[in-house]
Amino acid sequence: MRIEEDCVGKMEVPDKALYGIHALRAVGNFPITKELVHPKIIESYIEIKKAAAITNHGANTLDVTKCNAIIKACDQLLKSGDQSGFITPSIQGGAGTSTNMNTNEVIANLTMTLDSKVFIHPNDDVNQSQSTNDTYPTAGKMAMLKLIPNLLSELERLVATFTNLGQKFAKTIKLGRTQLQDAVPTTYGKSFHAYASLFKRDLKRIKHASAELKTISMGGTAIGTGMNASKYYQKHIVENINKCSKMSLKSDEDLIDAVQNTDHFVTFSAALKTLAVDLSKVSNDLRLLASGPQSGLDELRLPKRQAGSSIMPNKINPVIPEVVNQVAFEVIGFDATVTAASEAGQLELNAFEPIMFKSILTAEEHLTNATQTLVDNCLKDINVNDDKCSEDVKKSAVTATILSPILGYVKTTKIIQESLKKNESVKNILLNHNILDEQKIDELFSPENLVNESK
């Protein structure tokens, strides 16, 4: 064991550990969860430290030997993907200081492991010109941006799948329903197309919200004034982060605002929540339309994925929409957490970014995975019970709505009431009472006319 000392006192640290006293204290202080800081935050933090070393050397505040040693350590960590030295919990007090200090410690200790002749100090060298208050939110934003392509890719597949289903079932007529009561007819083509349109808006919304994440506070240090950062560093740090990370970030015009306010996270979280709500609504529809099969709507046939009961043989449940529902409930809760945490910020800093980052990054990943399984394990092999849908339309009294412009609302209502009372089709009632001739009736009640597609 080696002895390390900080402003609180001394502590034993394992000899070969790359982490140090600050990270070890965090482990003891925050026994909330065994979930560690997200790997993409750590990866982004290492890129930031590499860029900072390059920038500080350019400002002549870090000599070339130390600069190269830090770069070498960062490159090794990024190439190997080894994050075993990063031990801080994802939920932590201190506004992310433990994660920043852990990163400083790992990089400093690794440089000296690679070259014992070089001494690198975690604060004076690795953390030079920085503060947790500008590096931590920057690493968080970078991590969120890195997860977005996978989410957008799955959303694009979802839109394409619903679009294809809309084309496949363009002529499959069905009853529409409002407030769970029979309404005028439509087609499954139109229904699936509407779902595609819904998720196109989610794509647009998430892209728009994520654009705000590209504005970062680097160079602001503690509260946005840039204390202890050279003018050269402030001017060049963002461009060097972009080179190290291959991203397109830009500096905020008001660094004091950027350090203390977290509205970007609220906006992005809200976009994720909206996607969750939309996924859940559509999953509700799928479960309801597939209900039965003998005593429910039985319009959709979802692919069979697993046995649904330990007591009822051959029972199959809509497990894929169900799991998507549950992810949606979770993400809605995450958004409430992000909202509360952002509102709770005080004066020059928000101390609650750790829980925001954990919530948002988990939401991104779970929404990505939920969308993937919805497409692959449900929608791709979904089918429509054409016979059931057609029969429901034929026997529905509400199809008489097509008569309102001809016979008027009151007379049409009486026809519908008689149809329901006698359990007889509207077409038969029209014929029996000689209200319209058979040719006109067939024309009015043709599938094309019922779904408003007649020429």
**Does the domain spanning 2-128 belong to CATH 3.90.700.10?**
no
> Which residues does the annotation mark as catalytic?
309
How far is the C-alpha of 359 from the C-alpha of 117, rounded, in Å? 42
Say whether pLDDT at 455 is over 80: no
| 434-446 pLDDT tens trace | 999 989 988 988 8
Distance (Å, whole) CA 305 – CA 317: 8
Q: Which residue has the higher pLDDT, 335 or 443?
A: 335
- The mean pLDDT value of the chain amounts to 96
Residues 70-116 pLDDT 10s? 999 999 999 999 999 999 999 999 999 999 999 999 999 999 999 99
Q: What ranges do the domains of the chain cover?
A: 2-128, 135-220+257-386, 396-450
Pick the CATH number of 396-450 from 3.40.50.300, 3.30.110.30, 1.10.40.30, 2.60.40.1150: 1.10.40.30
- At what angle are helices 132-168 and 188-211 packed, to 10 degrees? 160
Contact 399, 450 (CB under 8 A): yes
Q: What is the pLDDT of residues 247-279, one digit of tens each?
A: 999 999 999 999 999 999 999 999 999 999 999
Q: Does residue 135 carry a pLDDT above 70?
A: yes
Residues 278-325 have pLDDT tens digits of 999 999 999 999 999 999 999 999 999 999 888 999 999 999 999 999
Q: For residue 4, name the pLDDT band (cuts at 50, 70, 90).
A: confident
Tell me the per-residue pLDDT of 139-185, one tens digit each, with 9 for 90 and over: 999 999 999 999 999 999 999 999 999 999 999 999 999 999 999 99
CA–CA separation, 74 vs 134, rounded Å?
Answer: 19
Q: What DSSP string runs through 318-359? A: -HHHHHHHHHHHHHHHHHHHHHHHHHT-BTTB-TTHHHHHHH
Q: Kindly report the pTM of this predicted structure.
A: 0.95
| Rounded Cα gap, residues 355 and 359, in angstroms | 6
Q: Which fold has domain 135-220+257-386?
A: Fumarase C; Chain A, domain 2 (1.20.200)
